C-alpha cells in the first residue's frame, strides 16, 4: 500500500531531543525554565523587536494581545472575512465585535480599501492576517490606522519569517501573534508568541498571561488574568526548531517552485497567488485555485486526491458564511475565491516524486 501524503507534518531532526531531555533531567517542565526565556529572546531578535512573549497557543496569543490592547465590550475590530476562525473568536472573547471586510484576489489577504469603509466611531483596531504565508498589506493598513487613531495587530500565525521590504512580519505594526501548532513552519506541538516594541503593552501582557498575579506579592491578584503560559518543554522544542528556520523556509520555497513549475506546465485551469514586489512570502501552505466551478467542484477534486492518498485542506470558509458570524451581504472576492481554493501538501518530508504525483493527480481530477 502507498504511504499517505499528509498535508502537513512536524519535522524534529535538530536539537529537539537534546533540549527536551535537558528539561526532563533538570525536572523543569512547567512554565518556569531557561528555554522559555531563550526561545523568547531568540524570536524577538529574529523579528527585530524588543519583546517576544510566549503563550500556550496561537489563539491565546491573539486573546492576550487584545487584552493587552485593552479591548472592551462594545468596541469594534476590523478583521478579514477570510481567516482561521480564531482571529475573530479572540475579539469575541473580549466581548467586542469583529467587523468583517473583504479580501484581495490570490493571496486572499485583507483589502485595505474595504477597511477604510468599515471604520466607525467604535472601531479600536485592525487585524491584518498574513494568510498562508503571504504578507498582508500592512503598510497601507498602518496608514489608515494612523489617520483614525487605531492600533494594528498582525495575525502572523501562518507566516513566520515573511517580510515586507526587509522588515519581518511581527515587526510591521503595534503587535503581532504567531502559532506553533504541529502544522506550522516551526512548531512547539501547541504554542504561540506575541511580538511588540511597546514596553508597557509587553508588561501588561505578561501580567495577564500569568493569572494577573502581582509579581511582588504571592497570590495577590490586582486583575482577572489567564493561564496562557508556554511550558519549558514546548519552548525547548521551539528553540530547536527555530535553529533550523532558514533551512525550513528554503525547503518550502523549493516545494513551491516545483508545484508552480509542474502546474504551469500541465494545466491552464489552475491558478495561484502572484507575489507582490518587495514582499517576501514564505510557503506555509501551497495554495491553488480552480479557475472555474463551485464549491462542489472543489470538493470533488479534494475527494479524488483523498482517494489517491493525498490529504488536502479547503481554503477557509469565509467567516460571514459560518453560523457565529453569519451575514447576508456578499463579499465579492471572498465569495468567489474561497470555494475554489485547496491547500496542497507542504512540509519538509515531501519528496519531489510526491510533489509530481500530487500535481498529476490534481490535474487529472480537474479535467
Ligand X SMILES: Cc1ncc(COP(=O)(O)O)c(CN[C@H]2[C@H](O)[C@H](O)[C@@H](OP(=O)(O)OP(=O)(O)OC[C@H]3O[C@@H](n4cnc5c(=O)[nH]c(N)nc54)[C@H](O)[C@@H]3O)O[C@@H]2C)c1O
Site residues (vs ligand X, CB under 6 A): 6-10, 27-30, 32, 57-59, 83-84, 86-87, 129, 155, 157-158, 179, 181-183, 189, 192, 227, 311, 313
Q: Measured between alpha carbons, how far apart are the two ends of the chain, in Å?
A: 26
Q: How many CB atoms sit inside 10 A of residue 60's CB?
A: 26
Per-residue interface string for the shown chain with a copy of itself, residues 34-73, x marking contact by CB under 8 A:
----------------------xxxxx-------------
CA distance 206 to 214: 11
CB 237 within 8 A of CB 10: no
CB of 238 to a copy of itself, least distance (A): 11
**What 3-state class would DSSP assign to 98?**
strand
* Nearest distance from C-beta of residue 178 to a copy of itself, angstroms: 14
Q: Which does 311 bind (CB under 5 to 8 A by kind): ligand X, a copy of itself, none?
A: ligand X
Q: How far apart are CA 184 and CA 316, in angstroms?
A: 16
User: For residues 39 and 181, which CB has a smaller minimum distance to a copy of itself in the complex?
Assistant: 181
Instruction: List the interface residues with a copy of itself, window 308-337 (CB under 8 A).
Output: 313-314, 316-317, 322-324
Judged by beta carbon, residue 148 or residue 313, the one nearer a copy of itself is 313
Q: Which is nearer to a copy of itself, 2 or 224 (CB)?
A: 224
Segment lying near a copy of itself (by CB under 8 A), choices 35-43, 88-96, 249-257, 276-284: 88-96
Residue 15, interface with a copy of itself (CB under 8 A)?
no
Beta strands 151-155 and 270-271: pairing type?
Answer: unpaired
Nearest to 130 by CA among 90, 163, 158: 158
Give, as ranges, the residues between 277 and 296 that touch a copy of itself (CB under 8 A). Answer: none
Positions in 178-197 near a copy of itself (CB under 8 A): 181-183, 187-190
Read off the C-alpha cell for 299: 470538493
Q: At CA 269, angle to CA 266 and CA 270, rounded to 5?
A: 80
Nearest CA among 214, 237, 219, 213 for reference residue 54:
237
In the chain, the largest separation of any two C-alpha atoms, in whole Å, equals 68
- The option from ligand X, a copy of itself, none interacting with 157 (CB < 5 to 8 A, set by class) reads ligand X
> Helix-strand-coil percent breakdown of the chain, rounded to 5?
40, 15, 40
Bridge pairing between strands 163-164 and 167-168:
antiparallel
Positions in the binding site for a copy of itself (CB under 8 A): 9-12, 16-17, 20-21, 24, 27-32, 56-60, 84-86, 89, 92, 95, 181-183, 187-190, 211-212, 218-227, 229, 231-234, 237, 313-314, 316-317, 322-324
Amino acid at each position: 500500500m502507498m504511504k499517505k501524503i499528509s498535508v502537513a507534518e512536524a519535522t524534529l531532526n535538530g536539537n529537539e531531543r537534546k533540549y527536551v531531555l535537558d528539561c526532563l533531567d533538570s525536572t523543569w517542565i512547567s512554565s518556569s525554565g531557561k528555554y522559555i526565556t531563550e526561545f523568547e529572546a531568540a524570536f524577538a531578535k529574529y523579528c527585530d523587536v524588543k519583546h517576544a512573549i510566549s503563550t500556550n497557543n496561537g489563539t491565546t496569543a491573539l486573546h492576550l494581545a487584545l487584552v493587552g490592547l485593552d479591548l472592551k465590550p462594545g468596541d469594534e475590530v476590523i478583521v478579514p472575512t477570510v481567516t482561521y476562525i480564531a482571529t475573530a473568536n479572540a475579539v469575541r472573547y473580549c466581548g467586542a465585535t469583529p467587523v468583517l471586510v473583504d479580501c484581495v484576489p490570490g493571496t486572499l489577504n485583507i483589502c485595505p480599501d474595504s477597511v477604510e469603509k468599515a471604520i466607525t466611531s467604535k472601531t479600536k483596531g485592525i487585524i491584518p492576517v498574513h494568510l498562508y504565508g503571504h504578507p498582508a498589506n500592512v503598510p497601507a493598513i498602518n496608514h489608515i490606522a494612523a489617520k483614525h487613531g487605531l492600533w494594528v495587530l498582525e495575525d502572523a500565525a501562518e507566516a513566520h519569517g515573511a517580510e515586507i521590504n526587509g522588515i519581518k512580519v511581527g515587526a510591521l505594526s503595534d503587535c503581532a501573534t504567531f502559532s506553533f501548532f504541529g502544522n506550522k513552519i516551526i512548531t512547539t506541538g501547541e504554542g504561540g508568541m506575541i511580538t511588540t516594541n511597546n514596553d508597557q503593552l509587553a508588561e501588561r501582557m505578561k501580567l495577564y498571561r500569568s493569572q494577573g498575579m502581582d509579581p511582588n506579592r504571592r497570590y495577590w491578584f490586582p486583575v482577572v488574568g489567564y493561564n496562557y503560559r508556554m511550558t519549558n518543554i514546548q519552548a525547548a522544542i521551539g528553540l530547536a526548531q527555530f535553529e533550523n528556520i532558514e533551512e525550513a523556509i528554503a525547503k518550502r520555497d523549493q516545494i513551491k517552485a516545483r508545484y508552480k513549475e509542474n502546474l504551469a506546465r500541465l494545466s491552464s485551469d489552475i491558478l495561484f497567488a502572484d507575489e507582490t514586489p518587495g514582499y517576501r512570502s514564505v510557503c506555509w501552505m501551497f495554495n491553488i485555485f480552480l479557475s472555474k466551478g463551485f464549491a462542489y467542484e472543489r470538493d470533488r477534486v479534494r475527494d479524488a486526491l483523498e482517494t489517491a492518498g493525498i490529504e488536502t485542506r479547503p481554503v477557509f470558509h469565509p467567516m460571514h458564511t459560518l453560523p457565529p458570524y453569519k451575514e447576508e451581504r456578499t463579499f465579492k472576492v471572498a465569495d468567489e475565491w474561497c470555494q475554489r481554493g485547496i491547500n496542497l501538501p507542504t512540509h519538509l518530508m515531501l519528496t519531489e516524486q510526491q510533489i509530481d504525483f500530487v500535481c498529476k493527480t490534481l490535474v487529472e481530477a480537474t479535467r
